[in-house]
Structure 1
Amino acid sequence: MMASFTIEKRTKANGEFSYRCKVVVKQKNAIIHRESKTFRKKELARTYGRKRVQEIENDEIGIKKTIPLSALLDLYFEDVHLWEKTGRTKQYVIKMLRDCDIAKIQSNKLKTSDLIAHCKIRQLAGAKPSTVYHDICYLRAVMKKAQPVFDIEANYSVFEEAIPTLIDMGLISNSDRRTRRPTQLELEKLQVGLEIRENQKPNGHVRIPYLDILDFSILTCMRIGEVCKLRWDDLNLDHKTIVVRDRKDPRKKEGNHMIAPLLGESFNIDNMQPNDKDL
């Protein structure tokens, strides 16, 4: 954190001069605090500026440390302990929010009206309420970490008021429940497209068995992230089972390991993969 001050000379209505001392505090090139005070003499303004900068840098007089939401999102992104535990969808949303107008707002000044404006903009761009709901949830998750992790003041409590309002306005909603399986024609189209993708192996890159992943996912009802994290050490050849690590659960994800049976053709698909790596 670095504090600095400037003196601004101003002409009053009666022709006399006044001197405004403007103090600015920056953290990682982002302004986190501003304040100013006006004096009738330049030397008084300069004395105040020097004293205030020293107080702030020595943390003798505390200030509320606030930063634009864009800077807060950057801090979250740059913290390896937070980012490595962040799912792929959440990472995408956080990066997207970084470039939205809402990211210009100071972390302690976010209002319900700002969230409403953001949701309306996203809706006009074609995003469904269930998609915009992710924006609000993941922004709330980042702001919840602001004070305990980064010592940044953030108006986290705004979401208690905002979320019911956004739901009532139809701007956000839960995802629609899936009620059907893909048709045979849809599966055939997927297979054709994935076969083309599978054969377009870039130089130096490992071939990805898209067709096997598709068939295996359908047979086991596993998510793509779960399929791609399966380990050879967790495959039980005798019982035809495999451990699915960190299976998604709304209450617990880390350590939520489950033994899944490999029924029908799924065991053969699993066992025919090249056994030259841990995964």
Structure 2
Amino acid sequence: MATITKIKNKSGALSYRAQVRVKRGGRLVHAEARTFPQLKLAEDWASRLEKQLALDDGVEKRKIGNRSIGDYIGLYVQRSNELKPMGATKRSVYRILCDSPISDVPVMELTPAHIIKHCQERGRLGAKPQTVMQDIIYLGVALGAGSALLGLPVTRKAVDEALPLLWANNLVRKSSERERRLMPGEFERLMVFGAKREAMPNAFVPIRELVRFAIATTMRAGEITSILKSDVDRSKRTVLIRDRKDPKNKFGNNQRVPLLGEAWKIVEQRLSEEPVNEPRIFPYHEDSIGNAFRLTVLEAEIQDLRFHDLRHEGISRLFELGYQIQEVAIVSGHKDWKSLKRYTNLHAHDLHRDPLLPTQTPPVEGRTDRR
């Protein structure tokens, strides 16, 4: 319902304030007002707005305006970061969405067809269905938070309606768990070609040392580069990993872990060698480590090996050394022991061994760090 009020300023000139209010179920859902110098202008504006708001989604469209998907995601990222800093993976996915053609689509005009087209285009550009699935997951998260976080009448309906077709046409797929481990001879090749890379002009990443440390600690590249000298406890041979990755609580998830075997030797040596004014044990950027590792793998002619696979290698080695699942979890940071089962890589033929007598214990080599 529209109301128009006369307003007189200090000089006596008249203006007209038009206000349009919409109620649903006795509750005010929208109110908007503008001031005009002439009564006719105020009446015309109020009449047009009332007709617009009377449409089924008129109020929603009015609140959103012409905001595009890209604009909306930008606002969502900003507000989310005010509550809790957003993880690197999530930020990266939203950057990709904002750089894609779907970002130009008005939020209130988003349809399943737009989403399907986005997935098809991502596939044509080389993105795997598992990667495209991340786009859809995080787009749905942003749209689903519209009402609670942003106060905007946005829903994830288009995403939910598109998903059955995306699955049916294999445009999206769940990520498969990698079980890549080092094959015989691959570690030696990494060391040989890592030495060649380190000998190159302007090379500064000690890739061989980082490979050995990643396997010994099961740490991710980002965790390795964030270790501070002040976080090392020499007496207990432990280190504090800050903001360790966790699906539910990444930030503030600090964990103290043991530095076993070669890991402690590497840290001890670095503590004595790194400049006093350098707070980090490994003063390198995560991207620099990734690039150096990829080039080393390429030159060593090793297929399908990522730096993160070294974490899988390290965890599997701990099990092979005889550590129990609860002990491995202390090193790897896993809170759910169930997720560690896949790292054991046990096969049916592994069970063909001489059974031990009840009084026997299996011999475990290299387990000198268990104190």
- Shorter-chain TM-score range: 0.5 to 0.7
Q: What amino acid is aligned across from residue 213 of structure 1 in structure 2? A: L
User: Using the alignment, how far apart are the partners of 1:190 and 1:115 within structure 2?
Assistant: 42
| 1:108 partner SS | helix
- Structure 1 residues 161 and 92: alpha-carbon distance in aligned structure 2, compared to 1, 3 A threshold: same
CA contact (8 A) 1:68 1:106 kept: yes
Q: CA deviation at 1:176?
A: 1.7
Q: What amino acid is aligned across from residue 45 of structure 2 in structure 1? A: G
> What is the match of residue 167 of structure 1?
167
Structure 1 runs (4+) greater than 6 angstroms displaced: 50-53
CA contact (8 A) 1:195 1:211 kept: no
| 1:272 partner SS | helix
Q: Percent identity at matched positions?
A: 28
Q: CA deviation at 1:265?
A: 0.6
- Return the match for 2:221 from 221, 224, 227: 224
Alignment pair present for 1:64 and 2:63: yes
Q: CA deviation at 1:252?
A: 2.6
> What is the match of residue 24 of structure 1?
none
Once the two structures are superposed, residues 75-94 of structure 1 have per-residue CA deviations (whole angstroms, 9 ceiling, x without a partner) of 34555835972222222221
Once the two structures are superposed, residues 51-104 of structure 1 have per-residue CA deviations (whole angstroms, 9 ceiling, x without a partner) of 879xxxxxxx98322410011223345558359722222222212211212112
| 2:94 partner SS | helix
> What is the match of residue 238 of structure 1?
235
User: Using the alignment, how far apart are the partners of 1:137 and 1:198 within structure 2?
Assistant: 43
**Structure 2 unmatched runs, 5+:** 1-38, 50-58, 281-371
User: Using the alignment, how far apart are the partners of 2:83 and 2:221 within structure 1?
Assistant: 20
User: Using the alignment, how far apart are the partners of 2:198 and 2:83 within structure 1?
Assistant: 29
| 2:109 partner SS | coil
| 2:256 partner SS | strand
Q: Which is greater in Rg?
A: 2
CA contact (8 A) 1:77 1:83 kept: no
Alignment pair present for 1:271 and 2:268: yes
CA contact (8 A) 1:233 1:278 kept: yes
Name the one with the larger strand percent: 1
Output aligned runs, 1:1-279, within 5 Å: 48-49=44-45, 63-66=62-65, 67-78=67-78, 81-82=81-82, 85-183=85-183, 186-187=186-187, 190=190, 192=193, 196=197, 201=202, 207-273=204-270, 274=274, 275-279=276-280
User: Using the alignment, how far apart are the partners of 1:86 and 1:77 within structure 2?
Assistant: 8
Q: CA deviation at 1:113?
A: 2.3
| 1:260 partner SS | strand
Give the TM-score of the pair, scaled to structure 1: 0.67
CA contact (8 A) 1:198 1:208 kept: no
- Structure 1 residues 119 and 217: alpha-carbon distance in aligned structure 2, compared to 1, 3 A threshold: same
When structure 1 is superposed on structure 2, of 122-131 and 230-239 the one drifting more is: 230-239
When structure 1 is superposed on structure 2, of 154-163 and 265-274 the one drifting more is: 154-163
Q: What amino acid is aligned across from residue 277 of structure 2 in structure 1? A: D
- Structure 1 residues 212 and 112: alpha-carbon distance in aligned structure 2, compared to 1, 3 A threshold: same
Number of paired residues?
226
- Structure 1 residues 264 and 258: alpha-carbon distance in aligned structure 2, compared to 1, 3 A threshold: same
Once the two structures are superposed, residues 140-167 of structure 1 have per-residue CA deviations (whole angstroms, 9 ceiling, x without a partner) of 2332343334333323243334334423
Q: CA deviation at 1:238?
A: 1.6
